[in-house]
Structure 1
Amino acid sequence: MNGRGGVRGAIARYRGRDIELKTPAQLQAMREAGALVAATLAAVTEQAKPGVSTAELDAVAEQTIRDAGGVPSFLGYHGFPASICASVNSQIVHGIPSSSTVLADGDLISVDCGAILDGWHGDSAVTIAVGDVAPADLALSDACRGAMEAGLLAVQAGARLTDVSHAIEEACRAAAMADRADYGIVAEYGGHGIGTSMHMDPFLPNHGEPGRGPKLRPGMALAVEPMLVAGDPETMELEDGWTVVTAAGGRAVHWEHTVAVTEDGPWLLTAPAGAPDRLGS
């Protein structure tokens, strides 16, 4: 689940506040929470087929998390009523799972999931292609995933926070040029610090000039999560108080990983258990 709030003044908003630093043992605990999130998203992806409701996907997620001894991060968070955010097609983020929302062939669904294990949070999101999806929609999702990966690689000790933002933005623009497409970066929402709470300092914009904001230090952990839309990136929030959609009706995608700053480069905390998790090595 991504941080709310506009980008303007976001860096200044967190100036002077403490950013939580974790010990290697605490980051390892976050790695275990992140692996549970990865397993949960894999289980949801396996079930995301035409004819399946988003409420059924939510039930799969909650059961997977609880069977492993975890607690869903999202359930009850500021009143959110589910264990995942399930955002379909023009929904960007924070879609509420429902038995009346049934997946159809050609849909895109972005699933955001968080889990708490032994007091530590993991947070990750994937966009899933349901059945036979249009090539342009697949390209949009690939562009967003590539932008996330560029941002993850920029999470280096000694870098500045907006070096990550700039890497995301540049990757988005490069993908749009390569695809000859109009991709809009959602500016109102972004990544965030994470650890003993799901949303912590600092707010991480998904675009901006490099070299600003706090210096990244070993022990910090960030959720890196770009959101892209086809066309106009203007957003609106539905009457449920949660679901954010594209104002123009274009399709949207969302990818996210939790990553730690270490002396040896970025540590991907939400990689599947046993998968390579040291980036750039």
Structure 2
Amino acid sequence: MREANRMVSKILDELGRAVEPGVPTMLFEEIAQARCKDFGVRPAFQGYGGFPYALCCSVNEEIVHGFPSDTRVLKEGDIVSFDMGVIYEGFNGDSARTFGVGNVSDTAQRLMTVTRESLMKGIAMAKPGHNLFEVSRAVQEHAEAAGFGVVRRFVGHGIGTKLHEKPEIPNFVPKGLPGLVLKPGMTLAIEPMITEGTHDVEVLSDKWTAVTKDRKLSAHFEHTIAVTSDGPVILSRSD
């Protein structure tokens, strides 16, 4: 798991360095495919449920599952989210980051910062004996205190030999559910998707790309972590 996620992190590092105005988003797919080939691993997303690409590339109002494109070209002030996964010796790595393209608005920068902070606050609560929804509460409270929306339709997940395993990890506290007590050895993908406006989602005609219903900005950060007796360990951290 650590090695799979190290590879994902290195791919995201390289994708981030390639972000600039004038770049078609298909370039990022090409980079992701090339690095998977170099590492000798399979992209975890390509073919999963019929998803056609190695990389989820989501721009501005696109929340998650966006398609790379030869015709979608990044422009100054955009934000772009990359969600990447690989399979290494039967185990999955999964992580996501959002990058600004050139100079972005104060709102876009604040959205990215708060989303990243929400992720880290959620991770800090992933300790043995804690209820899973303490992770959810930490994410939700930080994002909503900043005036942002928390997407309900898509959530984090357990991860291991399968990309998506139980438990689901919402970024909000569901009403009427007991939650789960966290134990050492669990590996979890925690992934806040935070919006500038409403949390309501619409899926486009490609059946994959999820956008904010009000077409305001969305940011996405994700780490795969291990719950250990010493607390949470981030497996998808950069070198």
Residue 205 of structure 1 pairs with residue 170 of structure 2 = yes
**Residue matched to 1:265:** 231
CA shift for structure 1 position 54? 1.1
Q: Aligned Cα RMSD in Å?
A: 1.3
**Following superposition of structure 1 onto structure 2, how do residues 64-213 of structure 1 map, counting pairs within 5 Å?**
64-174=35-145, 176=146, 182-208=147-173, 212-213=178-179
Contact kept? 1:55, 1:97, Cα under 8 Å: yes
Provide TM-score, normalisation by structure 1.
Answer: 0.83
CA shift for structure 1 position 233? 1.5
Gapped runs of 5+ residues in structure 1? Answer: 1-29, 177-181, 274-281
Q: Structure 2 CA distance, aligned partners of 1:204 and 1:254?
A: 15
Residue 61 of structure 1 pairs with residue 26 of structure 2 = no
Percent identity between matched residues is: 41
**Residue matched to 2:215:** 249
**Residue matched to 1:223:** 189
Q: Structure 2 CA distance, aligned partners of 1:212 and 1:155?
A: 16
**Residue matched to 1:19:** none
Q: Whose strand fraction is larger, Structure 1's or Structure 2's? A: 2
Contact kept? 1:85, 1:94, Cα under 8 Å: yes
Contact kept? 1:163, 1:209, Cα under 8 Å: no
Amino acid at match of 2:32: A
CA shift for structure 1 position 173? 2.5
SS in 2 for 1:122: strand
**Residue matched to 1:232:** 198
Q: Which has the higher mean CA deviation after the structures are superposed, 212-221 or 101-110?
A: 212-221
1:151-181 per-position Cα deviation (integer Å, ceiling 9, x unaligned): 111110111111110111111133x1xxxxx
Q: Which runs of 4+ in 1 moved over 2 A?
A: 209-212
Contact kept? 1:222, 1:259, Cα under 8 Å: yes
Provide TM-score, normalisation by structure 2.
Answer: 0.97
Q: Structure 2 CA distance, aligned partners of 1:113 and 1:259?
A: 15
Contact kept? 1:91, 1:251, Cα under 8 Å: yes
Q: Structure 1 CA distance, aligned partners of 2:188 and 2:170?
A: 12
CA shift for structure 1 position 209? 6.4
